[in-house]
Structure 1
């Protein structure tokens, strides 16, 4: 095939917009979707069938004379189809441990791939065949047109990844080490390892990527224009020239370490209403000098940072384990570990633990200890977390054992054999709802919950109360005290 040359970006974009509304199958001139060896790479289908370019493995940009990379990527609708979300991270290029450590960001292959990206979006629909996906949005992503804040955070992310390679710790890199630009696993599975230059321990093969959360905010803010005027945490961009985003977060809270809530009231010039259920989250916002909940900050949403308040009582114990979203049994059963919801959650998320020590909970008196920006170590993820996930999947696949007990009070309770807190160092499984509901095969209903709201259907037809993974409170305490 003789490649078509696009002389200007305007000419390329005009061609790209012409694909909007077209089915990918109609653009597949070489029947790549049916080619099992090719696996139907949608980017290659568009590049070859629509733009008229031969598919190759060269490291240069897909449109080399314009320096533009082509990426075809899916989105989905969440929250009852009210919010758009990226379905996956946007993989840019493989990390070369042997070479990349010695290359500045603007000279790197990563920068060549991120400098200009022609993004073509399609909506992923669960039961729709690839052939019928429709190109619905086109966007030219240009690094030079990003806010200076985003540019500096991405630069810092790149340097964080490179510094781990230089220190001989490529095997300890995690996607959740960074904020917008990630180092995602690359390869058939997590056991695929390659050499690194400054350590004999082999490291997981990885690629630079724009993280799922970053892509989600790009979709909401610039593609669909649904998320305008998000409040920013960083008010003075110049501090990013000399501090990492992590430094800025920690320095913001350091002024309040050791202060009681009364002292924080005086310091911020505002008396927080402690009768509110989430009053400690209000204190977090006041310490950060923001007007919204910290989880709604522009930078935190892009970086997938989740703020968690941690209360430690007088005995040095965290009262509650940390819950995660409820899972659907049928979906968990069908998952592979490598692409599972739970694994991807811990691979990408950072948690900002805001830690308060009890003085007297009866009158809501606490002392602020510190914040801690934490992500799950991959050695824990691939061992204890995997074991809890696998055991849960096995039990749900092979038959959940329910035991119905009548208490002295006359109340009927239902227990099961899913992983308990004592079974695993990190995670356990229990109900995620305030009200329980069970519907057995004989149509007997137990509990005062609502089946549609609180129930989850098992493969055998039984409905149980929705379940979720909880992170053990003693594991969290160990993290904080290390």
Structure 2
């Protein structure tokens, strides 16, 4: 795999991202000596990892922004034929224990979503993975209203977690942000607060952005 050094400025990052627009995933993978998987069932994060490699991101799976030195998070955004997001966007793992006193401004969700480089990409299942094309990148910062929506959802979800009601939180909770199980399989377990305040074992959860939120980002940018 060819190693791309981290970009030294947001401008350089954007130049690299814009240079990917119009290319197929196979074009990018060939340039980096990365094999294209036959399907994404086993390699769910492959597209995001390909973009990380192409743009010089260094965070990997560490709980921080992909371009920490620039304050930018990288997210791929698979779109359908109508140019709309196909799925919710994973943000980060949710804390399910030791959440007392945790503030929105100190949360990982807040930090990850302060500035996001969105890379739209064709996501229709019938298009072979290598043939999927990349769209124009969007460098996005939440508006005051979006920030407020995210904060409100996060606070409501975190309150339910702190009350030991994690098992009662469904994907319907939250206007723009939701909590869902996040694990390779249902056997993965982690500590969470039980209703009586003790610790219990449950599946890990992750925060996801709902598709209507990412649709709004696309509409604001592309009109």
TM-score normalised by structure 1 residue count: 0.41
For 1:76 and 1:164, locate their aligned partners in 2 and report how far apart those are by CA, in whole Å: 34
Q: Are 1:3 and 1:54, in contact at CA under 8 Å, matched by a contact in 2?
A: no
The answer for the alignment partner of 2:79 in structure 1 is 75
Q: Are 1:86 and 1:212, in contact at CA under 8 Å, matched by a contact in 2?
A: yes
How do residues 80-229 of structure 1 correspond to structure 2 at under 5 angstroms?
83-143=82-142, 146=143, 148-188=144-184, 192-197=188-193, 198-219=197-218, 221-225=219-223
For 1:101 and 1:170, locate their aligned partners in 2 and report how far apart those are by CA, in whole Å: 15
C-alpha spacing 1:52/1:9, structure 2 compared with 1 (3 Å): closer
Displacement, 1:223?
3.7
The answer for the alignment partner of 1:33 in structure 2 is 36
The answer for the alignment partner of 1:330 in structure 2 is none
How do residues 336-347 of structure 1 correspond to structure 2 at under 5 angstroms?
none
For 1:97 and 1:11, locate their aligned partners in 2 and report how far apart those are by CA, in whole Å: 38
C-alpha spacing 1:58/1:200, structure 2 compared with 1 (3 Å): closer
Q: Are 1:101 and 1:166, in contact at CA under 8 Å, matched by a contact in 2?
A: yes
For 1:115 and 1:205, locate their aligned partners in 2 and report how far apart those are by CA, in whole Å: 24
Secondary structure of the 1:7 match is coil
The answer for the alignment partner of 1:43 in structure 2 is 48
C-alpha spacing 1:17/1:133, structure 2 compared with 1 (3 Å): same
Q: Are 2:120 and 2:134, in contact at CA under 8 Å, matched by a contact in 1?
A: yes
Q: Are 1:137 and 1:223, in contact at CA under 8 Å, matched by a contact in 2?
A: no
Encode CA deviations 1:266-312: one digit per residue, 9 max, x unaligned. Answer: xxxxxxxxxxxxxxxxxxxxxxxxxxxxxxxxxxxxxxxxxxxxxxx
Q: Are 2:99 and 2:162, in contact at CA under 8 Å, matched by a contact in 1?
A: no
CA-atom RMSD in angstroms: 2.5
Secondary structure of the 2:50 match is helix
Displacement, 1:87?
0.1
Displacement, 1:175?
2.0
For 1:54 and 1:184, locate their aligned partners in 2 and report how far apart those are by CA, in whole Å: 26
Q: Are 1:90 and 1:209, in contact at CA under 8 Å, matched by a contact in 2?
A: yes
For 2:115 and 2:57, locate their aligned partners in 1 and report how far apart those are by CA, in whole Å: 18
Q: Are 2:189 and 2:203, in contact at CA under 8 Å, matched by a contact in 1?
A: yes
Q: Which has the higher strand share?
A: 1
Flag the structure with more relative contact order, 1 or 2, with Cα contacts below 8 A and sequence separation at least 6: 2
The answer for the alignment partner of 1:5 in structure 2 is 6
The answer for the alignment partner of 2:18 in structure 1 is 17
Q: Of the two, which has the highest radius of gyration?
A: 1
Displacement, 1:195?
2.0
C-alpha spacing 1:5/1:40, structure 2 compared with 1 (3 Å): closer
For 2:155 and 2:145, locate their aligned partners in 1 and report how far apart those are by CA, in whole Å: 15
Secondary structure of the 2:84 match is strand
TM-score normalised by structure 2 residue count: 0.85
C-alpha spacing 1:52/1:150, structure 2 compared with 1 (3 Å): closer
For 2:138 and 2:71, locate their aligned partners in 1 and report how far apart those are by CA, in whole Å: 15
Encode CA deviations 1:172-213: one digit per residue, 9 max, x unaligned. Answer: 222211111111221245675432133444333211111122
Displacement, 1:125?
2.5
C-alpha spacing 1:32/1:64, structure 2 compared with 1 (3 Å): farther
Displacement, 1:149?
2.4
Q: Are 2:37 and 2:129, in contact at CA under 8 Å, matched by a contact in 1?
A: no
C-alpha spacing 1:46/1:96, structure 2 compared with 1 (3 Å): same
For 1:22 and 1:101, locate their aligned partners in 2 and report how far apart those are by CA, in whole Å: 46
Stretches of structure 1 lacking an aligned partner (at least 5 in a row): 78-82, 226-482
C-alpha spacing 1:207/1:39, structure 2 compared with 1 (3 Å): closer
Displacement, 1:164?
0.8
The answer for the alignment partner of 1:58 in structure 2 is 62
Encode CA deviations 1:317-341: one digit per residue, 9 max, x unaligned. Answer: xxxxxxxxxxxxxxxxxxxxxxxxx
C-alpha spacing 1:110/1:32, structure 2 compared with 1 (3 Å): farther
For 1:59 and 1:202, locate their aligned partners in 2 and report how far apart those are by CA, in whole Å: 22
Encode CA deviations 1:345-379: one digit per residue, 9 max, x unaligned. Answer: xxxxxxxxxxxxxxxxxxxxxxxxxxxxxxxxxxx
For 2:102 and 2:4, locate their aligned partners in 1 and report how far apart those are by CA, in whole Å: 31
Displacement, 1:39?
5.0
